[in-house]
Amino acid sequence: MTGLLFKKIPYTFQDPSLLDNRAFVGGKWINSIERKAFPVYDPEDNQEICKVADLSREDVRTAIDAARSAFKSFKKTSHRDRRWMIRRWADLLRANKEDLAAICTLELGKPYTESLATVKYGTDFLYWFEGEIERVYGETIPAARENNRIFTIKEPQGVVAAITPWNSPIAMVTRKVGAAIAAGNTVVCKPAPETPLCAIAVAKLFERSGGPPGVLNIVPCSAENTAEVGAELCSNKLVRHLSFTGSTAVGKHLNAECAKSMKKTSMELGGNAPFIVFEDANIKRAVDGLISSKFRSSGQTCVCANRIFIQSSIINTFASVLETRLAETFTYGSVWDPKVNYGPLYSPKAFEKLTCQIQDAVSKGGKLLGKDVGEAQAHYGPNFYPPTIITGATTDMLFMKQETFGPLAFLIPFQTEEEVIALANDTDAGLASYFYTEDIGRLWRVSEALEAGMIGVRVGLVSACEQPFGGVKESGIGREGGSGALDEYLIVKSITVGL
Ligand code: NAP
């Protein structure tokens, strides 16, 4: 147990100093000016873990000033120096993966084995950006005007603000902050109030990697202070780019606020992914893909399957194979047990949302397959929601329009390819879409017809550092990862030279 923690946990930190409850501003570890702190809870039992510095609008203004001042020299660093700094940072994340995973398990309730995988996923982004730094080029453009020459160069933008959600508290930070810093910007990052400890630990390792003071600033704050802190990040003219991951409703609000000072924004917002299984699919493969897409992280990812369309002729077989495979796949128990691969929801409010969707579905004729929720809670903790299949789902149910963000698999029958494409696209969201078929013509037709930023064909996972990640429609603007990852945080400047 570490001094900071209010509760005992079954894990001994190799480096207890990674667990810190202070903000990181201008290269210093600080408390808020008002010396306020907010509680962080363990989702496994809702007990308080510790208190974390609760930064105010004024504190955040100081962080923005520190980032702006650091930018003056950081923008001049050579790409090679930045490359080695990011490499050292990534190496430190890898060397400390067990402790980082423990922090993730503690504040997110993610099973420890899964947390290790999530640390690797977050670290891989840093390795990817490190390589991409070497591939930022300008252009030489033939000029139509006589005796002119035109060149372009790419430059960092300045101070980037990053606002991250709780559901992937390491990767959501490295994916934004890593790309922005690799491109030569400085950053002020506000982590979600449920999971500030991972972001703080990532910043500790940034400091140890030789990251200059003020280049990365972490400004945790309570839910009560979020609106004020968000207003500062959106309105402060020194901030040139806001990168946000979270719900569409909040993303729209922040985007409108940023428009007032013409900030560039990157918006990674909510999804409502269709998952389609055609009758020619390999059912076992489709079931396994659905389990990883729908139930990974207890259904709490933006790319989770949300509306599951199964061709009528195979829906009963599919439901029964799914029920059997679910029972074989998941082991429940303490999230610290390495055999356990399914954990609680992140908070009581997530539980309430699922209860509403289930009540709505049952009132419209849906049938539930799965463990009794009350019994499961009594065994595994107050926020535990077992994987649940809902058969007889219909298109007038709440889940069709509202992202579930939990382990409910609504199975909806369909008859034809045209019908299911229309249903799949009948949403304002467009993040991920999945389908299973063995027909090569259908593979291309459906891939091209689905309105989404990412399509999974015969796979249930669509995210990796080398792949552009992002949505269309109300799921957002911009891409993270992939070969354009640094361009998101760079300005193209053209230079015309007269001879
Ligand atoms: P959320 O309520 O939008 O919150 C996300 C973050 O924004 C939190 O840190 C939150 O802090 C902050 N926030 C809320 N209102 C704000 C404001 N006015 N100013 C500044 N910051 C503000 O989303 P969530 O429920 O935590 O996360 C789940 C959502 O994120 C889902 O819709 C999911 O699909 C989406 N998501 C998208 C992606 C993607 O890459 N597209 C990835 C992961 C998650 P507070 O908690 O204090 O409000």
Task: Give residue-wise pLDDT tens across range 269-290.
Answer: 999 999 999 999 999 999 999 9
CATH fit for domain 2-268+476-495, picks 3.40.605.10, 3.20.20.70, 3.30.43.10, 3.40.980.10: 3.40.605.10
- Atom 11, ligand 1: residue with shortest CA distance: 192
Q: What is the pLDDT of residues 165-214, one digit of tens each?
A: 999 999 999 999 999 999 999 999 999 999 999 999 999 999 999 999 99
Name the pTM for this structure: 0.97
Structure tokens at 493: 């400047």
Handedness of CA 117, 123, 129, 132 (dihedral sign): negative
Partner residues linked to 409 by β-bridges: 389
Q: What is the pLDDT of residues 40-84, one digit of tens each?
A: 999 999 999 999 999 999 999 999 999 999 999 999 999 999 999
Using only C-alpha atoms, the chain has a radius of gyration, in whole angstroms, of 23
**Structure confidence at residue 246 (pLDDT):** 98
> What is the mean pLDDT of the segment spanning 367-394?
95
Q: What is the pLDDT of residues 226-267, one digit of tens each?
A: 999 999 999 999 999 999 999 999 999 999 999 999 999 999
Distance (angstroms) between ligand 1 centre and the Cα of 447 equals 29
Strands 454-457 and 432-436: parallel
**Structure confidence at residue 26 (pLDDT):** 98
**Structure confidence at residue 133 (pLDDT):** 96
Confirm or reject: Cβ of 163 under 6 Å from ligand 1.
yes
Q: Is 456 exposed, middle or buried (0-12, 13-18, 19+ CB in 10 A)?
A: buried
How far is the C-alpha of 468 from the C-alpha of 244, rounded, in Å? 16
Instruction: Give whole-number Cα distances, 357 to 246, 303, 388, in Å.
Output: 20, 19, 12
> What is the mean pLDDT of the segment spanning 311-318?
98
How far is the C-alpha of 467 from the C-alpha of 457, rounded, in Å? 15
Sorted by sequence, the CB contacts under 8 Å of residue 70 that are 6+ apart come out as 26, 186, 212, 213, 214, 215
Strands 148-156 and 140-141: antiparallel
Domain map of the chain by residue range? 2-268+476-495, 273-463
- Atom 15, ligand 1: residue with shortest CA distance: 250
Percent of the chain whose predicted confidence (pLDDT) is above 70? 100
Burial of 363-382, coded b for 16+ CB within 10 Å and e otherwise, reads eeebebbbbebeebbeebbe
**pLDDT-derived band at 1, boundaries 50, 70, 90:** very low
> What is the mean pLDDT of the segment spanning 15-29?
97
Instruction: Give whole-number Cα distances, 299 to 302, 373, 454, 483, in Å.
Output: 9, 16, 18, 28
Confirm or reject: Cβ of 33 under 6 Å from ligand 1.
no
- What phi and psi, each to the nearest 5 degrees, are found at residue 435? -150, 160
Strands 408-414 and 159-163: unpaired
Does residue 107 contact residue 39 with C-beta atoms inside 8 Å? no
From 248, 252, 302, the mutation candidate for ligand 1 (largest count of ligand atoms within 8 A of CB) is: 302
Confirm or reject: Cβ of 109 under 6 Å from ligand 1.
no
- Atom 19, ligand 1: residue with shortest CA distance: 230
Q: What is the pLDDT of residues 129-177, one digit of tens each?
A: 999 999 999 999 999 999 999 999 999 999 999 999 999 999 999 999 9
> What is the mean pLDDT of the segment spanning 417-433?
98
Q: Residue 3 pLDDT > 80, yes or no? A: no
> What is the mean pLDDT of the segment spanning 73-97?
98
How far is the C-alpha of 439 from the C-alpha of 167, rounded, in Å? 35
What is the per-residue DSSP string for 444-499? HHHHHHS-SSEEEES-S----TTS-B--SGGGEES-BSSTTTTGGGEEEEEEEEE-
Confirm or reject: Cβ of 247 under 6 Å from ligand 1.
yes
Residue from 132, 232, 268, 488 carrying the catalytic annotation = 268
What is the per-residue DSSP string for 140-208? EE--SSTTEEEEEEEEE-SEEEEE--SSSTTHHHIIIIIHHHHTT-EEEEE--TT-HHHHHHHHHHHHH
- Atom 47, ligand 1: residue with shortest CA distance: 223
Q: Which of 121, 176, 192, 175 has the alpha carbon at shortest distance from 346?
A: 192
How far is the C-alpha of 323 from the C-alpha of 336, rounded, in Å? 26
Neighbours of 34 (CB within 10 A): 13
Confirm or reject: Cβ of 214 under 6 Å from ligand 1.
no
Sorted by sequence, the CB contacts under 8 Å of residue 488 that are 6+ apart come out as 179, 243, 266, 478, 479, 480
CATH of domain 273-463: 3.40.309.10
Confirm or reject: Cβ of 220 under 6 Å from ligand 1.
no
In ligand 1, which atom is closest to the CA atom of 194?
46
Does residue 369 contact residue 391 with C-beta atoms inside 8 Å? yes
Partner residues linked to 242 by β-bridges: 161, 265
How far is the C-alpha of 492 from the C-alpha of 156, rounded, in Å? 9
Q: Which of 268, 224, 230 has the alpha carbon at shortest distance from 246?
A: 268
Q: What is the pLDDT of residues 385-400, one digit of tens each?
A: 999 999 999 999 999 9
Burial of 319-358, coded b for 16+ CB within 10 Å and e otherwise, reads bebbeeebeeebebeebbeeebbbbbbbeeebbebbeebb
With residues binned 3-state (H G I as helix, E B as strand, rest as coil), the percentages for the chain, rounded to 5, are 40, 20, 35
Catalytic residue at 268? Answer: yes
